[in-house]
A and B are shown apart, each in its own frame.
Chain A
Amino acid sequence: MKLAYWMYAGPAHIGTLRVASSFKNVHAIMHAPLGDDYFNVMRSMLERERDFTPVTASIVDRHVLARGSQEKVVDNITRKDKEENPDLIILTPTCTSSILQEDLQNFVNRASLDSKSDVILADVNHYRVNELQAADRTLEQIIRFYLEKAKAKNELIIKKTEKPSANIIGIFTLGFHNQHDCRELKRLLTDLGVEINEILPEGGSVTNIKKLPNAWFNLIPYREVGLMAANYLQSEFDMPYVAITPMGLLETENCIREIVNIIKGFNISYDFDFESYIDTQTRFISQAAWFSRSIDCQNLTGKKAVVFGDATHAASMTKILAREMGIRVVCSGTYCKHDADWFREQVDGFCDEVLITDDHTQVADMIARVEPAAIFGTQMERHIGKRLDIPCGVISAPVHIQNFPLGFRPFLGYEGTNQISDLVYNSFTLGMEDHLLEIFGGHDTKEVITKSLSTDSDLVWAPEALAELQRIPGFVRGKIKRNTEKFAREQNVNEITLEIMFAAKEAVGA
């Protein structure tokens, strides 16, 4: 048992559901008790989804506990098959079904006899993997399923596209700025003369999976999700992949070079002048290179920062701060414990120490100890920063609704570098401004000359009414106080008691 208040990565089934509901026309059925369909709320609220989230639960209740699910799961699958007519139904186990040890595979086999859609069981173990690992696994599982199915039906005709082309794998729902990154990656590839073959799973269709091998290579923008699929495609179809996250100027350049290398490996004449492209983008289109030379950024030299997040974003951010802005990263860390070795290797030489943990109190203690001028982390670090009065830029999931902006905010590619520069600069200057205000005592004199704006108060607040007033949240307290006093005056009452307070509320609807 572990005493836990907060976690960075969610349970396994969330990962499966994120992948499933990213595809078009794929439905997930969770084998779960009532209330476990919280995923639907998250998707509907955070992503502001207009459509119903294609996830339903086959409810595990007391009866299921006593007698087993029996026909229930199969009925739910066939019912959903008729109602929604999906291409694929994924039966998703949860922590509850993990310990019930029902033969879910058997349900899947039976249900697939009666339904038009394909039915598969997500192969994830709640107690072994987290959200991100499960997402990676499920994506690979779906891709493998459809490619093997096509192969078995002899529908798999691998015909490479005429022009260089790529699949982008790993963009999915509830991902940190994934939609924006996707748009930016498409632009980048188009600039390089690379066609987009398929984008998975977001907005993709499972019926198109058989076209995946037609692309020349795969681009895996995020470390956490897509690598398993890329490795499978490489070993099975000899497809190369690029797994360099194009985040920051230098890594975007590396990513482009790697892509060019792969294309040239196909022995065709590829005459795109990528050197001049990188040069122009870096020096003139993106503002980040210029920003790092400008005197604004000079002021950031040697300032201390802490970075924490998922492996992809924390590693990239560490490198950007250290290499491209001259900021001193005192500690860089990730909660992706399963990928610790890769992370250490990535940030080696770019930070003073490395922290691998999924315990937010350890992160908080570290931040309190090193006292950085700014933090780049998740929503948790933002709150730690609030408590310690240190500004924080959010660079990674887990995130809140404000990290699903409506405006265009990629973190990847050349536009991404601009966004990151803004984020970094705003975090530090805000901290600086705060500091100066403290030194010089604020914009305005703090002393208030009169005790209140109206000094003619002849009203007395009874102690219990005053206590009640104190319990009202600060931002409305003033209004309530004013309304109550106004009411008391109208009633010719001098002492404000609890009853007067409530009567005032009733009278004015305060």
Chain B
Amino acid sequence: MKNSKLNETLTFDCETGNYHTFCPISCVAWLYQKIEDSFFLVIGTKTCGYFLQNALGVMIFAEPRYAMAELEEADISAQLNDYKELKRLCLQIKQDRNPSVIVWIGTCTTEIIKMDLEGMAPKLEAEIQTPIVVARANGLDYAFTQGEDTVLSAMVQRCPSHSNVQKDQNLITEEQTNSSPNLENLGQKKKSFCDENSLVLFGSLPNNVATQLNLELERCGIKVSGWLPSQRYGDLPVLNENVYVCGINPFLSRTATTLMRRRKCKLISAPFPIGPDGTRAWLEKICSVFGVTPIGLVEREQQIWDSLQDYIALVRGKSVFFMGDNLLEISLARFLVRCGMIVYEIGIPYLDKRFQAAELDFLEKTCQELNVPMPRIVEKPDNYNQVQRIRELQPDLAITGMAHANPLEARGINTKWSVEFTFAQIHGFTNARDILELVTRPLRRNKALENLGWNQLVKI
């Protein structure tokens, strides 16, 4: 087993897929907050509702803009008419919340009973005069963050293809916001409004992180013409064959495919802007596509690394094991290798080698440069086997789901809950520290308790 640490190239394995992860419907939790005028309707059973209620805890009580359309026995046995039932619920939602878009989240149950959501949506949309987007984010096909992928790829279809209609409006708002810093950018901004070679970024990020990435690109002289998703449904970006698109998260492969195939957009394949190394590589790749030479990026990256020294001292030489559940694993592992950690295993639910190609190359290169063993990448991992491997390897840190965190801690293994990486702000130069804040937290905490002799808390 330990030999696996000494590989020269990346090795890819695939196990049984018996692993713990969140159901992809969890994406409503962050997407309803991101798209401020949306309403998410999860069409599923009590099981789905119970998961959302418990996983999202406090948010439930904040009158969220999501709800369950809970299927009852009469729905399953087709004694009730799906269309009429959905119409009734959607009218109620329209009346109570008046959203700009209703997103239907299809679940395992709607798949199994073959409820034709895609067929019903356009009819109902015409009838109730509110756009209805259908995303099949079910546990039969997808894991956790891939839920966002299904929603975004459905939204791609709703993006306008010509800015003609909106152009004038946009120009006005553009003038208004031009009070911001560099006046010399103005020409550039105007230019990017011609439909040619505009850049649209895809992936849902908290607004301040999106602003940070916009600013980073602006420093390089590149204007971001839009984001998918946008803050409001009405502001979805223009997409056509002149548009370059670039992803900011590793789990968006379906959205990327849809952008290329359906909207003829040009995909920029880059590592993801996670960690200062990733951010720089991401910016450089975009710059190279637009024929811009970035100035001062190297220094900027170095500056960030310098500011991380106190945390890096804590992780250097330590080993880490990713059990895998949210598809951020490759990028995080690459960043942690750059920080001086040794990655034993990268578990990952699903690996799109084409969409993640640049990131995989970057990981390999990083390992070579730092002269550390290549990690083993395990797709569809088997948690039981992984726990056996963790026992054998005794990593300094296991990044794992909450189902395993407490039991591993009780056995003296430091753990960090992987879900936190999904909800924390980890993108761009500015947030590199937040990643290390998370990674080092168990190390710092356990350092404080080190001498108490309470590492093993189960009877063996």
Contact = CB atoms under 8 A, between A and B. Distances in A.
B57 interface: yes
A3 B410 contact: no
B55 A38 contact: yes
A212 interface: no
Nearest to A13: B47
A7 B49 contact: yes
Given A99-B109, A502-B430, A5 B72 contact: no
A489 to B, nearest CB: 19
- Specify the main secondary structure of chain A where it touches its partner: mixed
Interface in A95-117: 95-96, 99-100
A37 B53 contact: no
Interface stretch (A45-53, A319-327, A439-447): A45-53
Contacts of B457: 50
B141 A62 contact: yes
A35 B109 contact: no
Interface string B43-55: 1011101110111
A34 B143 contact: yes
B112 A65 contact: yes
B334 interface: no
Nearest to A76: B18
Residue among B46, B55, B457 with max Cβ neighbours from chain A (10 Å): B46
Nearest to B66: A5
A13 B47 CA distance: 9
Contact of B108 (A4, A11, A60): A60
Interface string B102-115: 00000011011100
Contacts of A95: 45-47, 108-109
Given A44-B407, A60-B108, A506-B304, A4 B76 contact: no
Interface stretch (B119-127, B256-264, B265-273, B396-404): B396-404
A38 B54 contact: yes
A153 interface: no
B140 A60 contact: yes
A10 B307 contact: no
Nearest to B406: A44
A14 B49 CA distance: 13
B454 interface: no
Residue among B20, B60, B402 with max Cβ neighbours from chain A (10 Å): B20
Nearest to A383: B61
Contact of A50 (B93, B208, B407): B407
Interface string B313-338: 00000000000000000000000000
B208 A96 contact: no
Interface in B80-105: 80, 85-86, 88-89, 92-93
A195 interface: no
A83 B382 CA distance: 13
Given A2-B72, A5-B60, A45 B406 contact: yes
B68 A509 contact: no
Nearest to A42: B54
B47 A498 contact: no
A2 B69 contact: yes
B47 A1 contact: no
B21 interface: yes
A33 interface: yes
B22 interface: yes
B303 interface: yes
B384 A83 contact: yes
Contacts of B211: 468, 498
Nearest to B385: A83
Nearest to B41: A3
B237 interface: no
Interface in A22-48: 32-38, 40-42, 44-45, 48
B75 interface: yes
B438 interface: no
A6 B53 CA distance: 6
Contacts of B51: 35-36, 38
A380 B57 CA distance: 11
24 contacts: A1-B89, A2-B68, A3-B67, A5-B67, A7-B46, A7-B53, A32-B139, A33-B139, A34-B17, A34-B142, A35-B24, A37-B403, A40-B403, A50-B406, A50-B410, A50-B458, A52-B404, A99-B113, A127-B72, A130-B46, A383-B61, A468-B208, A471-B208, A498-B211
Interface of A: 1-7, 10-11, 13-14, 32-38, 40-42, 44-45, 48-53, 56-57, 59-62, 65, 76, 83, 94-96, 99-100, 126-128, 130, 380, 383, 386, 400, 464, 468, 471, 497-499, 502, 505-507, 509
Given A128-B73, A499-B215, 19 more contacts: A1-B70, A4-B68, A11-B45, A38-B54, A42-B54, A45-B406, A50-B407, A50-B410, A51-B458, A52-B407, A62-B140, A62-B141, A76-B18, A83-B384, A95-B108, A99-B76, A126-B46, A497-B181, A506-B429
